[in-house]
């Protein structure tokens, strides 16, 4: 399986995402924002960072870059797409996921290991978890507060489209503690925490077993590998 990772000007975590894909057993493929070529990949990751310097709004310019026209068409055709942090911001700017992301309610950039509860496993990227599972994924953002109007929030809750919810503390003021979403079809997932930073023992969040031993993020990438191969 080949999973593309798109690099935009200002991307930070594209190499980390490619490493996570490799550790999961798939082939990472580097994609460039300025082309229309998805190179025949089977899935796509929009990585974290500060695309285009976060000018205008986070993700707003990247959402209009050339390759995103192809990503939107691919996502609408059923291709799995994962948006991480800035990638989540890009997904809402393209309207592949609803709502918006604004400045953290406390006004500061935050970096912490964040506990999450898995709310939905009905997606290509979350099928390896179980509903109610508690995981720890690193978080780092300055504009991660999820917002939507009440009718949209009620629809997300009612249709089971909330994929992850913050536990213990809401780090950025996200409404209803929403940390991540999926679309109705289950092929598009976006979240603010960074699963690619929790894929390798010795480099992830601390656990009760050992310091930096957390690898909960690897399940995102093994899930899409399993789901895609099963549907082939």
Cite the active site residues: 85, 194, 196
Query: What gap in Å lies between CA 134 and CA 202, rounded to an integer?
Result: 20
- Assigned token pair, 53: 């310097």
C-alpha to C-alpha distance for 187 and 197, rounded to whole angstroms: 22
Q: How many residues does the chain have?
A: 232
Can you tell me the distance from the alpha carbon of 102 to that of 142, in angstroms, rounded to the nearest whole number? 8
Nearest residue to 132 via CA among 151, 160, 90: 160
β-pair type (188-191, 81-84): parallel
């Amino acid at each position: 399986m080949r999973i593309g990772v798109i690099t935009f000007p200002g991307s930070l975590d594209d190499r980390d995402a490619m490493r996570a894909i490799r550790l999961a057993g798939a082939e990472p493929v580097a994609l460039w924002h300025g082309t229309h070529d998805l190179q025949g990949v089977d899935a796509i990751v929009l990585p974290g960072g500060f695309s285009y310097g976060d000018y205008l709004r986070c993700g707003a310019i990247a959402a209009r870059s050339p390759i995103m026209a192809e990503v939107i068409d691919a996502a609408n055709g059923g291709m799995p797409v994962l948006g991480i942090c800035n990638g989540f911001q890009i997904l809402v700017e393209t309207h592949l996921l609803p709502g918006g992301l604004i400045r953290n309610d406390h006004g500061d950039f935050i970096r912490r290991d964040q506990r999450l509860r898995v709310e939905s496993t009905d997606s290509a990227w979350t099928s390896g978890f179980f509903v109610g599972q508690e995981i720890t994924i690193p978080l780092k953002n300055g504009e991660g507060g999820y917002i939507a109007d009440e009718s949209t929030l009620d629809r997300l809750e009612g249709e089971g489209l909330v994929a992850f919810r913050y536990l213990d503390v809401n780090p950025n003021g996200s409404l209803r503690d929403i940390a991540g979403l999926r679309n109705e079809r289950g092929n598009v997932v976006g979240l603010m925490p960074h699963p690619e930073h929790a894929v390798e023992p010795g480099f992830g969040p601390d656990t009760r077993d050992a310091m930096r031993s957390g690898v909960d993020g690897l399940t995102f990438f093994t899930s899409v590998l399993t789901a895609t191969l099963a549907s082939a």
